[in-house]
Chain A
């Protein structure tokens, strides 16, 4: 291909490669972080959405995204059951534990299995319900990701192995469940739970039932949330996640821009004489800026392709190794593309302007 821009890139393959890698790094950073954020958030939302109970009753601060305490008395279940419009109630104790693979944490829930399964429409696809203190059930996704099944074990508290006695579907709430009594015992919290699921009777709206609970003297002073609000607020509940993502986007743009700027600056210095020749041939400032920007555009587009490919491959490998979930959205892909191309073009602008304003005679005599 007899093209000045393409040939210039091919003339210095290592420099072009570094520039492409710089842009790709920025793109991949945006894609991976936002993909991970979306993936984990969507996973939580999907599992939470499978809860059929319309109301979650808990104490203030008893249940956060990354922590839980068993500070709610199970006796509230009895009182909630008396409220008009409530069909059934179910105490759940939830606790975070360090996952056996890689980093991060998981949640385990202690429930009365029969009640939980009936309320939320889940069923065992293999094995039986947990009964003894060291027995657990896991959902199909966890069984598949961990390569575990009935008869296997998971280390949950202090490296102690817990026997998998059942696998259930669909995914709902925490992926690991044990009996309420077993988890209360493990946490030394007899008679306590983290929250109580409330299922409404047909013909009663969740808002009306929530209002009735709030008005009931025996249940006052606690937190009443609609399940659908919890689902939509998961992303918002991670403190400063939005700020972090925006900062990351900015940093990525700076990385892409700086790498391209350095590469193009070196290019301009190396090609000073050629720029002098272009000026002697009558090339305008706009033309010179144009060819340098076009070179940056080609590099940025290559960086985009590599960046997207790296994101997909890295997401797949991380998922395989650590079980983390990635969900790439079009919106963030467009943002990453804008950052890659915009950063590259902006980074090349200063060297391009500098080249365009070079003195022709000085440039022609450049050694």
Chain B
């Protein structure tokens, strides 16, 4: 099976005043194509830092990381931005939809950024947007703005925005952290459906063991390191 994401001995040190804070201490992790991986661990263990490194939002202090064959370790900010544009979909805990745009508008914006403005608003794009929104049961929310939707609906739109451009990987940062149990279950089912039906690779950070239980693999982190297990365990 093809490895989509490969992290080798990643370390990340933040300088806070005169103190070095070691957020990651030699993390190695491989993510296969079609995996649905949960990263768990207590607050401050380095989960978010790892996710940001995977998404090219940060660069490691040492170690190496590549995504779909493209080395992001020494890539410039512009290069990492380009990789994000082409290959990564983000889902955030606080949804982070653009409040002035409708559900469809949020998807179109993502499409416009993905295509660099070329082919934005095309018939293919419109069909894909409708298909994704239909899959996530959001057809009737097409012209609704975020504030006119529930938290669960907003997170489903955020998920739709992440998958609409068919990224190589979806990186989700506590996607159910702001949702009640019912909506969490709905959103997690959607993640699972994306993974099963479309073989979509997903890496999800979560505190929620029930959410993690829906993933195919779980890695546990503590003090900037993966403590168990880093590879091979399928749930």
Contact = CB atoms under 8 A, between A and B. Distances in A.
Interface of A: 2-4, 7-8, 10-11, 273-274, 276-285, 287, 360-361, 364
A278 B97 CA distance: 10
B96 A4 contact: no
B100 A4 contact: yes
B105 interface: yes
B114 A364 contact: no
A81 to B, nearest CB: 80
B78 A284 contact: yes
Contacts of A360: 57
Given A282-B84, A364-B92, A7 B113 contact: no
Contacts, number: 69
B101 A7 contact: yes
A281 B58 contact: no
A283 B85 contact: yes
B81 interface: yes
24 contacts: A2-B102, A2-B108, A4-B98, A10-B100, A273-B96, A277-B96, A279-B81, A280-B92, A281-B85, A281-B161, A282-B82, A282-B83, A282-B84, A282-B86, A282-B88, A282-B113, A283-B81, A283-B85, A284-B81, A284-B82, A361-B52, A364-B57, A364-B92, A364-B96
B109 interface: yes
Contacts of B110: 281
Could you tell me the dominant secondary structure of chain B's interface residues?
A: helix
A285 B100 CA distance: 21
A8 B100 contact: yes
Nearest to B94: A273
Contacts of A361: 52, 57-58
Interface residues of B, number: 28
Given A3-B105, A279-B84, 18 more contacts: A2-B101, A2-B102, A2-B104, A7-B100, A11-B100, A274-B96, A278-B113, A280-B55, A281-B85, A281-B90, A281-B109, A281-B113, A281-B161, A282-B113, A284-B85, A360-B57, A361-B52, A364-B92
Contact of A277 (B98, B100, B105, B114): B98
Contacts of B58: 361
A2 B78 CA distance: 28
Residue among A8, A277, A278 with max Cβ neighbours from chain B (10 Å): A277
Interface of B: 52, 55, 57-58, 78, 81-86, 88, 90, 92, 96, 98-102, 104-105, 108-110, 113-114, 161
A267 to B, nearest CB: 12
A73 to B, nearest CB: 79
A283 B100 contact: no
Sorted from nearest, which 3 A-B pairs have the closest CB atoms? Answer: A282-B85, A7-B100, A2-B105
A282 B113 CA distance: 7
B154 to A, nearest CB: 13
Contacts of B83: 282
Residue among A8, A10, A364 with max Cβ neighbours from chain B (10 Å): A364
Nearest to B109: A4
Given A4-B100, A361-B57, A280 B109 contact: no
B113 A283 contact: yes
A20 B18 CA distance: 46
Residue among A8, A11, A283 with max Cβ neighbours from chain B (10 Å): A283
B113 A280 contact: no
A300 B105 CA distance: 25
A221 to B, nearest CB: 75
Contacts of B105: 2-4, 7
A361 B52 CA distance: 8
A293 to B, nearest CB: 15
